[in-house]
Chains A and B, each alone.
Chain A
Amino acid sequence: MAWKDLVVERRSKETLNSLLFFSLALLFVFQFTLGPDRERLAAVLPGVLWLGFILSSVLGLGRTFMVERDNDCWEALLLAPGDKSAVYVGKLVACLALMLVVEATVLALFTVFFNVDLGPALPGLALVIVLGTLGIAAVGALFAAMTSQVRARELLFPVLLLPVLVPVLLGAVKATEALLLGESLASVAHWWQLLVAADVVYIVVGLLTFDVILEG
């Protein structure tokens, strides 16, 4: 499933292109709004970074099951014998890979736009971003399946997704803030442990409920 989604995305580039342009536009807006004031920037940069990640995620994850609508592949997924949680894991892996590509690009642009030196904080930041993204992808793949067959999916998807992601956003923003201020990864252990716990809960819930959600 993950292989299929990534091959389809590599060939169509529908989601990747729109996410990259969207993120670029977002960074431009933030850059012009915040200006060069270093003190002001330092206070808002973690929020700006994760706002960029979460908005592009909402845009990308909402399209996760759109590919299954073409030629009614959704029906064939339902009819395929076997454990449907494999479909969830595949979608989760594909979403995670796609989001990490977008986030890596956004992070690179972020350092250029805001003239930030991420060097010492990069390993810790990478861990926090992967953990945060895993949580977003785990919930996103589940809710994308839930809303893919309803008419108001573009409205319903973020309404369902964002409140559930509060622990992830809280942990990710706070850990990112501390790491950008030069603190060590050990000093923000409670935040990335919160991310790990949220990821485990989201993935387990996804595995247990995906079959029911797919069957409608």
Chain B
Amino acid sequence: MMTHEALIEVVGLVRLFGATRVLDGVSLTVAPGEAVALLGPNGSGKSTLLKIVATLLRPTRGTVRVLGHDCVRQAEAVRAGLGLIAHGAHVYDDLTALENLRFWATLGGLPADHERLTAALDDVALERYAGMRVRTFSLGMKRRLALARLSLGRPRVLLLDEPFAGLDQRGRKWLATRLEAFKAGGGAVLMATHSFGRELEIADRLAILAGGRVVLDTLRAALGADDVQRLYAAHTEEAS
């Protein structure tokens, strides 16, 4: 399964929380230009897997490499090349959109000149709201601002936890287009989702997690929405 080109390589990953084995020997790869959708019921370990790949949690056993760097021993190198959008948008409500970008760029040691920051806002169609406090933003706008923030660091790997949750149709379409462009640029996407809808169309592969294991890892292209539903039901019920 492992390839030399893979931007994300997870091998034999085990994670225990006390006596509970949340991940039990997960192996997975994501190649450049590829998006893998993690499907699974609540508590199947999707978010835990993302957090370990993002270096926010340590594995109990197994290895995780991102961009060729070990997620435990070379966490700083991993962090320099990845972007995470989890349940929170990682923005401050009492700062404006522009101030948020300036803060995160400065903290990350990135250039924070006005032109660059406004270009990033322009890129996510938020330039008109640059001076507005994020507190007034909708969930979709916060997601777009989060993407603008990530784009400042030019990550090669994106980790997304329920990226389409709370977005309206227009927002979903917009995000799918952005992710397609990211893939086309050679980036790798690993996203956890509960959705079986059109959002899955950006995924090249589906990995179903159940009982802490990857119970199915398959190409998505040949599968329709009904096929995905059927496979999901069959594998998650079997695992539970």
Contacts and interface: CB of A to CB of B under 8 A. Distances in A.
B131 interface: no
B52 to A, nearest CB: 13
Contact of B79 (A11, A72, A80, A86): A80
B167 interface: no
Given A4-B95, A8-B95, A79-B56, A72 B107 contact: no
Nearest to A215: B75
Q: Which of A12, A71, A72 is most buried by chain B, counting CB atoms within 10 A of its CB?
A: A71
A66 to B, nearest CB: 12
Nearest to A77: B107
A85 to B, nearest CB: 12
Q: From DSSP, what is the main secondary structure of chain A's interface residues?
A: helix
A82 B86 CA distance: 21
Contact of A72 (B76, B82, B87): B87
A5 to B, nearest CB: 10
Contacts of B89: 71-72
A82 B109 contact: yes
A70 interface: yes
Nearest to B77: A81
Contacts of B55: 78-79
A79 B91 contact: no
B65 interface: no
Interface in B43-83: 54-56, 76, 79-80, 82
Contact of B92 (A73, A79, A81): A73
A1 interface: yes
Interface string A58-94: 0000000001001111011111111000110000000
Interface residues of B, number: 27
Please tell me the size bucket of the interface on A.
20 to 34
Contacts of A77: 107
B224 interface: no
Contact of B94 (A3, A8, A72): A8
B197 interface: no
B168 interface: no
B107 A70 contact: no
Interface in B128-173: 133, 142, 153
B34 to A, nearest CB: 22
B79 A79 contact: yes
B90 interface: yes
- The prevalent SS among residues of B at the interface is loop
Contacts of A4: 92, 95, 99, 103
Given A4-B103, A81-B79, A12 B84 contact: no
A1 B92 CA distance: 12
A72 B92 contact: no
Given A11-B133, A81-B109, A75 B79 contact: no
Contacts of A12: 94
A75 B109 contact: no
B207 to A, nearest CB: 23
A71 to B, nearest CB: 4
B108 A70 contact: no
A3 B100 CA distance: 12
B94 A11 contact: yes
14 contacts: A3-B103, A4-B95, A7-B95, A72-B86, A72-B88, A73-B92, A75-B84, A75-B86, A76-B104, A78-B56, A79-B55, A81-B76, A81-B108, A87-B107
Given A80-B79, A82-B107, 5 more contacts: A71-B93, A75-B54, A76-B84, A78-B56, A81-B108
